Amino acid sequence: MAVAQDPRRDRVESVAGLDDQRAERLAIPAHRPFDDVPHLASFLPRPASHGGLPSMSRDDAPNVQRRRNDDAAMIRLEPMDEATYVAWREFTVADYAREKVEAGNWPAEGAMARSEAEFAALLPDGRRTAGHELRSMINEDGERVGYAWFVPEDRPIGRVAFIYDIAVDPPHRRKGYARQALAEIEAFAREQGLVGVSLHVFGDNAGARRLYLEAGYIETNVVMLKRVTR
């Protein structure tokens, strides 16, 4: 994400990574209105095959824009330009490394290098990486208010849109933008013939879990841990 006033961005979730542990909590949304979410993010799985599904990641991709109801915040999801992508990637790589360390998944030493390597593997061609939807949230006034990263990929239940990251910039939170972005991704999934939308939530993030459950998501896999040493 672009560098925010608060370097930690008060994030609800971090972008989670390409681990062998695969500590997933995936969710498939029911078709009902979403509650506003300050920030979502997801689990970066191994690179998936994208054969046969047209990508919307190119600069000439159509904007995704719909009004869900008269009171909904109105945004469109536009492909990131290069400057936006560079700033978003720089922050996200650093923040992902920090949160993996804080969660106890990685040692602090080498965390940045590991994070950088994972992003390089997932996005070898940057914002033009085939199959990856890297979007800016643009509001009705033409302001960039946040970011979204999602990708169609195969899962055991079928092909889904997996949310890697959604973030709303601090000055624009609590205005319904995240809810609208979720709805747009869900609409994208339906239009592409996907079976649903999925994401990852860290187990200690009770607030995010509650919001997703209230929004109609279900937990499909929970990995638990009890620490026996400090």
CA-nearest of 162, 167, 129 to 146 is: 167
**pLDDT digits over 146-172, tens only?**
999 999 999 988 999 999 998 889 999
Evaluate whether residue 30 is within a structural domain. no
Surface-to-core class of residue 10, CB atoms within 10 Å of its CB (0-12 exposed, 13-18 middle, 19+ buried): exposed
40 pLDDT higher than 50: no
Query: 227 φ, ψ to 5°?
Result: -80, 135
Evaluate whether residue 18 is within a structural domain. no
Q: So what's the pLDDT on residue 73? A: 63
Count CB neighbours of 48 within 10 A.
14
Percentage of the chain beyond pLDDT 90 is 43
Q: What is the CATH number of the domain that holds 135?
A: 3.40.630.30
Token digits of residue 33: 């209105």
| Whole-number Cα distances in Å, 58 to 77, 132, 135, 161 | 12, 10, 10, 17
Residue whose pair of structure tokens reads 């804080």 in the numeric block: 102
Contact present, 111 and 97 (Cβ < 8 Å): yes
| Mean pLDDT of the 26-46 span | 36
Evaluate whether residue 67 is within a structural domain. yes
Evaluate whether residue 17 is within a structural domain. no
Separation CA 136–CA 79 (nearest Å): 6
To 5 degrees, how large is the angle CA 51–CA 52–CA 55? 85
Domain total of the chain? 1
Q: Quote the mean pLDDT of the chain.
A: 74
Q: So what's the pLDDT on residue 225? A: 73
Which range of residues forms the domain containing residue 84?
39-214
- Return the sign of the alpha-carbon dihedral for residues 119, 122, 125, 129: negative
120 pLDDT higher than 60: yes
Q: So what's the pLDDT on residue 74? A: 87
56 pLDDT higher than 80: no
Evaluate whether residue 81 is within a structural domain. yes
Evaluate whether residue 12 is within a structural domain. no
| Mean pLDDT of the 7-14 span | 37
Please give the residue that has the higher pLDDT: either 54 or 98: 98
**pLDDT digits over 220-230, tens only?**
888 787 879 77
Confidence band for 127, pLDDT divided at 50, 70 and 90: very high
At 227 the three-state DSSP class reads coil
**pLDDT digits over 167-222, tens only?**
889 999 888 888 888 889 999 999 999 999 998 877 767 767 877 787 788 888 88
